[in-house]
Amino acid sequence: MRLVESVAKQVLSRHGLKAPRGIECRTAAEARAAADELGGEVFVKAQVAFGDRAGAGLVRRAAGAVEAETAARQMLGSEIEASLVESVLVEAAIEAVESFYVSVHVDDEERARVLRVGSGGGAGYDRDEAEVQVVVPRHGLELFDIRNLVGRLGVRGAEREVLARAVAAVVSAARDWHAYTVEVNPLFLVEDGALAIDAKVELDDYSLAAVPDPGLLPDQVEADRERRAREYQQSDHRGSFRYVQLIGESYDGARVGSHSVGGGESLVVFDALESVGLRPANYCDTSGAPSQEKVAFAAALIASQPEIDGYFFSSCIANQPLSVTANGLVEGFRRAGWRGPTVVRIAGNEEAEARETVSAWAEAEGVRARVVGRELDEWQAAELLRGLLAEGA
Per-residue model confidence as pLDDT tens digits over 25-51: 999 999 999 999 999 999 999 999 887
Q: Collect all residues with Cβ–Cβ distance below 8 Å to 276 and sequence separation of at least 6.
A: 379, 382, 383, 385, 386
CATH superfamily membership of 21-92: ATP-grasp fold, A domain (3.30.1490.20)
- pLDDT higher than threshold 90 for residue 154: yes
Helix residue spans in the chain (DSSP H):
5-13, 28-38, 65-75, 143-150, 157-176, 224-235, 263-275, 292-303, 322-336, 351-365, 378-392
**Cβ burial, residue 378 (10 Å; 0-12/13-18/19+):** buried
What mean pLDDT value characterizes the chain? 92
pLDDT classification of 185: cutoffs 50, 70, 90: very high
Question: Which class in CATH covers the domain with range 98-210?
Answer: alpha beta
pLDDT at 307: 84
Exposure class string for 192-226: b at 16+ Cβ within 10 A, else e: eebbbbbbbbbbbbeeeeebeeeebeeeeeeeebb
Domain coordinates in residue numbering, the chain:
21-92, 98-210, 224-392
- Can you tell me the mean pLDDT for 12-33? 97
pLDDT above 70 covers a percentage of the chain that reads 97
Radius of gyration of the chain (CA): 22
Question: Which class in CATH covers the domain with range 224-392?
Answer: alpha beta
Q: Which amino acid is at 220?
A: Q
110 - beta bridge partners? none
pLDDT at 62: 97
pLDDT at 393: 62
349/202 Cα distance (integer angstroms): 29
| Helices 157-176 and 5-13: angle between axes, nearest 10 degrees | 110
HSE-CB for 332 with a 13 A CA cutoff? 26
**Cβ burial, residue 138 (10 Å; 0-12/13-18/19+):** exposed
- Can you tell me the mean pLDDT for 266-276? 93
pLDDT at 108: 77
By mean pLDDT, which of 245-254, 256-265, 295-304 is the weakest? 245-254
- pLDDT higher than threshold 70 for residue 115: yes
Higher pLDDT, 252 or 125: 125
pLDDT at 124: 83
Contact 320, 288 (CB under 8 A): yes
pLDDT at 361: 97
Q: What is the pLDDT of residues 188-224, one digit of tens each?
A: 999 989 999 999 999 987 788 889 998 898 876 567 8
- pLDDT higher than threshold 90 for residue 83: no
pLDDT at 224: 82
Q: What is the pLDDT of residues 338-380, one digit of tens each?
A: 999 999 999 999 999 999 999 999 999 999 999 999 999 999 9
